[in-house]
């Protein structure tokens, strides 16, 4: 059975290691590149089958064998296993600059904290894995890294020497890893007109909005005692466009205190179809299968991995669980009880509208989103509404136009609340018709 371990609730400094403050990681590149890739891919002792499978995963990463990685993961390899030198598969992939392998391992539940070796933080790991808002580049001597850069990016010097020319006169030489490079090159007290690389330089570029998100969460986490340690569940994607991106800053502190970490073994059933909803879950590591009984037979609906969430539908709609979730591997989850979920996550995410307000928004270009069964939709749909039954919401994330606005409705507001939460947590602009069609009828 999965269990909660009170010992897994250390001080807040472990809380948000994946978004460790930039001031502690600005010199990571030199440390990381210097870390030699010489370990034998032999994990510590484990049961024979697991030992062999884990060793295959590590060896496949070392040998640039993409197919071998996929096969080892399918065979149940522990994605966070280490070789005898303490290297995880993710760390090996990053050292080899194999962003494709790193993405595969992260999707399979690899913990970015496993790459935190010799001061190298997981913030660096995100930069190495091709995040669109974080890029790292080597520039030759004489180059101007500020030329042509948009004003919405901050540029940090990781290694090398740079000469800055200030507007109004004056220059400054900055060296990677020094006190001066804790601040962005283009965010100095004096405005920088141009720059020139004195030597080959290693640069990290971050989108300003992303940097603000990282520093906000980091500062809140730094003052949050007794919180569950959070790793890849709070990925950059989740913070940028997931459910957590919509949190009021005032809720972050309380949310981090209320999350609880639980461990699961392969084969454990985390939630069971038909049970009452009690917790909302975010996957820290591991793989999980969603399945539903249809005509007495189990039908697999989805496979969930690190950073995915589940369990929200029953909580938002006050209904019983409509599917079961089972662990396909060992893993760790963060869970949040119903009361705290409703208070801290559901309500901030749900934007409710009265019928008159919703109709006006539709007149200005939003679309009605009917989340009822097709038979209900055909009977009394609103003009111009599109039908996305609640059970099909997840399948529509890649289909619906994210540039459009939507107003979700059902008969009472329960199912549409669940749908609106799911869509909003994936970055869609979705409003909720408060009270559903029943309330709308009273307004007509």
Predicted TM-score (pTM) of the model is 0.58
Structure token digits, residue 310? 């589940």
pLDDT tens over the chain, length 444 residues: 444 443 333 322 323 333 333 333 333 333 333 332 333 344 443 445 778 888 899 989 888 888 889 889 988 888 888 887 677 888 788 777 676 787 788 778 776 555 444 444 444 444 444 455 667 778 889 999 888 888 888 888 988 999 999 998 999 999 988 888 888 888 888 889 999 999 998 888 888 887 777 777 766 666 555 555 445 566 666 676 666 776 776 677 778 788 898 999 999 999 999 999 999 999 888 899 999 998 889 999 888 888 788 998 888 888 899 999 999 999 899 999 999 998 888 888 889 999 999 999 999 999 999 999 999 999 999 999 999 998 888 889 889 998 999 999 999 998 999 899 889 888 899 999 999 998 887 766
* 145 close to 201: Cβ distance less than 8 angstroms: yes
Angstrom distances, CA of residue 319 to CA of 54, 311, 420: 41, 11, 15
Q: What pLDDT does residue 40 have?
A: 37
Query: Would you kindly state where each structural domain of the chain is located, as residue ranges?
Result: 17-133, 136-207, 225-345, 350-443
- Residue 88 to residue 52: CA distance in whole angstroms: 15
- The string over 49-85, giving b where at least 16 C-beta atoms fall within 10 Å of a residue's C-beta and e elsewhere, is ebeebbbbbbbbbbeebeebbeebbeebbbbbbbbee
What's the distance, CA 207 to chain centroid?
16
Angstrom distances, CA of residue 297 to CA of 165, 292, 293, 300, 322: 70, 8, 5, 10, 14
- Residue 22 to residue 40: CA distance in whole angstroms: 32
- Integer-rounded Cα radius of gyration of the chain: 24
Q: What pLDDT does residue 219 have?
A: 63
Q: What pLDDT does residue 319 have?
A: 85
Phi, psi (5° rounding) for residue 231? -120, -115
Write out the H or E segment, with its range, that includes residue 136: strand 134-139
> Tokens 């009828």 — which residue?
441
Structure token digits, residue 345? 């996550």
Phi, psi (5° rounding) for residue 213? -60, -45
Given CATH 2.60.120.10, say whether it is the number of domain 225-345: yes
Q: What pLDDT does residue 221 have?
A: 63
Q: Name the residues annotated as catalytic.
A: 410
Candidates 134, 340, 315; CA nearest to 240 is 134
Write out the H or E segment, with its range, that includes residue 204: strand 201-207
Q: What pLDDT does residue 346 have?
A: 84
Give yes or no on whether 17-133 and 350-443 have one common fold. Answer: no
Burial of 3 from C-beta contacts in 10 A (0-12 / 13-18 / 19+) = exposed
Q: Classify 332 as helix, strand or coil.
A: strand
- Residue 70 to residue 57: CA distance in whole angstroms: 8
Give 198's DSSP letter: S
* 157 close to 137: Cβ distance less than 8 angstroms: no
Class of domain 350-443: alpha beta
Candidates 3.40.50.720, 1.10.260.40, 2.60.120.10, 1.10.10.10; CATH matching 136-207: 2.60.120.10
Structure token digits, residue 261? 């970490």
Axis-axis angle for helices 66-74, 48-62 (nearest 10):
160
* 383 close to 367: Cβ distance less than 8 angstroms: no
Give 344's DSSP letter: I
Candidates 1.25.40.20, 1.10.287.3510, 3.20.20.70, 1.20.120.80; CATH matching 17-133: 1.25.40.20
Report CA dihedral (363, 364, 366, 372) to the nearest 10 degrees.
Answer: -20
- Residue 31 to residue 160: CA distance in whole angstroms: 13
Write out the H or E segment, with its range, that includes residue 197: strand 192-197
Q: What pLDDT does residue 128 have?
A: 45
* 160 close to 202: Cβ distance less than 8 angstroms: yes
């Amino acid at each position: 059975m999965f269990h909660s371990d009170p010992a897994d609730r250390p001080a807040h400094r472990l809380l948000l290691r994946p978004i460790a403050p930039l001031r502690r990681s600005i010199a990571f590149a030199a440390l990381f590149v210097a870390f030699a890739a010489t370990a034998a891919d032999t994990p510590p002792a484990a049961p024979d089958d697991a030992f062999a499978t884990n060793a295959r995963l590590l060896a496949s990463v070392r040998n640039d064998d993409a197919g071998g990685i996929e096969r080892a993961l399918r065979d149940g390899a522990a994605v966070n296993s280490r070789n005898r030198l303490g290297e995880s598969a993710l760390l090996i992939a990053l050292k080899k600059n194999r962003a494709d392998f790193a993405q595969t391992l992260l999707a399979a539940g690899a913990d970015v904290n496993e790459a935190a070796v010799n001061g190298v933080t997981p913030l660096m790991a995100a930069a190495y894995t091709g995040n669109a808002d974080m890029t790292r580049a080597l520039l030759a001597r004489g180059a101007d890294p500020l030329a042509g850069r948009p004003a919405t990016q901050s540029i940090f010097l990781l290694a090398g020497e740079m000469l800055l020319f200030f507007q109004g006169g004056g220059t400054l030489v900055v060296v990677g890893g020094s006190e001066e490079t804790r601040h962005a090159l283009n965010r100095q007290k004096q405005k920088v007109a141009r720059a020139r690389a004195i030597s080959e330089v290693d640069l990290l570029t971050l989108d300003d909005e992303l940097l603000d998100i990282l520093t906000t969460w980091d500062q809140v986490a730094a003052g949050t005692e007794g919180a569950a340690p959070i790793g890849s569940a709070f990925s950059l994607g989740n913070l940028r466009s997931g459910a957590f991106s919509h949190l009021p800053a005032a809720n972050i502190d309380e949310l981090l205190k209320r999350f609880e970490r639980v461990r699961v073994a392969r084969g454990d059933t985390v939630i069971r179809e038909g049970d009452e909803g009690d917790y909302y879950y975010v996957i820290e590591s591991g793989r999980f299968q969603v399945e539903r009984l249809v005509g007495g037979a189990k039908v697999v609906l989805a496979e969930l991995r690190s950073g995915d969430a589940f369990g929200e539908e029953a909580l938002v709609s006050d209904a019983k669980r409509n599917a079961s979730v089972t662990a396909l591997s060992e893993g760790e989850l963060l869970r949040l009880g119903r009361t705290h979920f409703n208070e801290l996550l559901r309500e901030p995410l749900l934007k409710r509208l009265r019928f008159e307000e919703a109709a006006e928004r539709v007149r200005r270009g939003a679309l009605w989103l009917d989340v009822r069964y097709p038979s209900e939709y055909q009977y009394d749909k609103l003009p111009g509404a599109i039908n996305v039954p609640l059970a099909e919401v997840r399948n529509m994330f890649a289909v619906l136009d994210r540039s459009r606005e939507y107003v979700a409705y059902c008969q009472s507001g329960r199912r549409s609340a669940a749908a609106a939460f799911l869509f909003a947590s994936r970055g869609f602009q979705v409003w909720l018709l408060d009270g559903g069609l029943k309330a709308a009828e009273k307004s007509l």
